[in-house]
């Protein structure tokens, strides 16, 4: 018995949606989790659209939760940008991309009181002919604000490796210089020995050593 046309069509659409969700078109990278007081901090939130050829409307909601507190809305993107009244008023900047895969915001002039958990909620409504499925995702960033920048472990390792390399190159240069000096000294000693041996030969033997000239 043949399946009804609507069922076949709906199954095809569901298969396309599922296949689209399984094939990423961008890379989701985590945000940094430490900021220095008085600097600008970008809260990175990337949510890859799985099928960029399908039109979708996107709603982005940003929340902030202090230590031991509750989530409070601080920013929203719903076709237009909207900043909620909060401790961040006037200090939030939209850094999202046009394709709405990057929906990041930047906190300007961060303070020690800005430490806490930031949550980015993304809701997409895909516009298919038959139905409009919703896709939701969420990202959380535990931000810590410090007074001064701490020395990065990677930079410390890099400095150590640089000093080791400098010491190695210095030793190698010294070894090369000693090797070259000894080689030159041996060559000079050999030349002096040859000259001494030549001077020690009697004069009549020196004449016999001369190469005869052919006419």
Q: What number does CATH give the domain 27-150?
A: 2.60.40.10
pLDDT for the residue 163:
86
Q: What is the mean pLDDT of each run of 10 residues along the chain (215 residues)?
A: 41 39 62 92 88 78 94 94 93 92 95 95 86 88 88 72 88 89 84 71 57 52
pLDDT for the residue 56:
82
Domain boundaries, the chain: 27-150, 151-181
CA 26 to chain centre: 15
Tens-place pLDDT, residues 115-150: 999 999 999 988 777 878 888 999 999 999 998 876
Task: Detail the DSSP E strand segments found in 37-107.
Answer: 41-43, 56-65, 72-78, 81-83, 92-94, 105-107
Percentage of residues of the chain with pLDDT beyond 70: 74
Q: Counting beta carbons within 10 angstroms of the beta carbon of residue 199, is it exposed (0 to 12), middle (13 to 18) or buried (19 or more)?
A: exposed
Distance of CA 32 to CAs 41, 43, 44, 65, 97, Å?
Answer: 9, 7, 8, 17, 19
pLDDT for the residue 160:
86
pLDDT for the residue 181:
86
Spatial separation of the C-alpha atoms in residues 170 and 143, rounded to whole Å: 44
């Amino acid at each position: 018995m043949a399946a009804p046309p609507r069922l076949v069509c709906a199954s095809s659409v569901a298969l396309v949606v599922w296949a689209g969700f399984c094939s990423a078109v961008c890379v989701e990278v985590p945000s940094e989790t430490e900021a220095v007081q008085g600097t600008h901090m970008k809260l990175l939130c990337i949510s890859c659209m799985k099928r960029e050829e399908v039109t979708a409307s996107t709603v982005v909601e940003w929340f902030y939760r202090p230590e031991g507190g509750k989530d409070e809305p601080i920013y929203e993107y719903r076709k237009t940008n909207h900043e909620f009244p909060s401790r961040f008023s006037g200090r939030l900047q939209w850094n999202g991309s046009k394709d709405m895969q990057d929906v990041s915001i930047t906190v300007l002039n961060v303070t020690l009181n800005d430490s806490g958990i930031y949550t980015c909620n993304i809701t997409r409504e895909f516009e298919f002919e038959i139905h409009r499925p919703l896709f939701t995702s969420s990202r959380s960033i535990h931000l810590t604000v410090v007074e001064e920048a701490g020395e990065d472990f990677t930079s410390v390792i890099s400095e150590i490796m640089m000093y080791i390399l400098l010491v190695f190159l210095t030793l190698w240069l010294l070894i090369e210089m000693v090797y070259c000096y000894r080689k030159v000294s041996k060559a000079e000693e050999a030349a002096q020995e040859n000259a001494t041996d030549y001077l020690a030969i009697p004069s009549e033997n020196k004449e016999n050593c001369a190469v005869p000239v052919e006419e």
